[in-house]
Amino acid sequence: DAKTTQPPSMDCAEGRAANLPCNHSTISGNEYVYWYRQIHSQGPQYIIHGLKNNETNEMASLIITEDRKSSTLILPHATLRDTAVYYCIVGIRGSTLGRLYFGRGTQLTVWP
């Protein structure tokens, strides 16, 4: 399974866009990019996923580079409640869906 690299921490002003980068240079063609976040000590929460096209939902946007070696999660208008650890992970599509490995993620701090 491909590994990911994320900066350990970032900060962002409330109301501004938060752009969280992720490198996954060894990703294979059949692997999705997923983003989750963990607020304080709660269970992680799914945000968004993508394969090769950019994706948007009510929580965030996901931009994946054309070569698929990196991606950016965008929170368009960050709020204090978006302060959390954000995990970028890759997972194989298809029959071997069992394994999703989480790294240490990026601690995003949104300040007033």
Partner 1 sequence: NAGVTQTPKFRILKIGQSMTLQCAQDMNHNYMYWYRQDPGMGLKLIYYSVGAGITDKGEVPNGYNVSRSTTEDFPLRLELAAPSQTSVYFCASSYVMITGQSGANVLTFGAGSRLTVL
Binding site for partner 1 (CB under 8 A): 32, 34, 36, 41-46, 49-51, 87, 91, 93-94, 97-105
Residues 6+ apart with CB under 8 A from 34: 46, 48, 49, 88, 89, 90, 91, 100
70 or 106: CB nearest partner 1: 106
Beta carbon of residue 100, minimum distance to partner 1 (angstroms, whole number): 6
Q: Is the dihedral of CA 98, 90, 42, 54 positive or negative?
A: negative
Q: Are the beta carbons of 4 and 88 closer than 8 angstroms?
A: yes
22 or 91: CB nearest partner 1: 91
81 or 99: CB nearest partner 1: 99
Beta carbon of residue 13, minimum distance to partner 1 (angstroms, whole number): 25
Beta carbon of residue 112, minimum distance to partner 1 (angstroms, whole number): 25
- From CA 83, how far away is CA 110, in angstroms rounded? 5
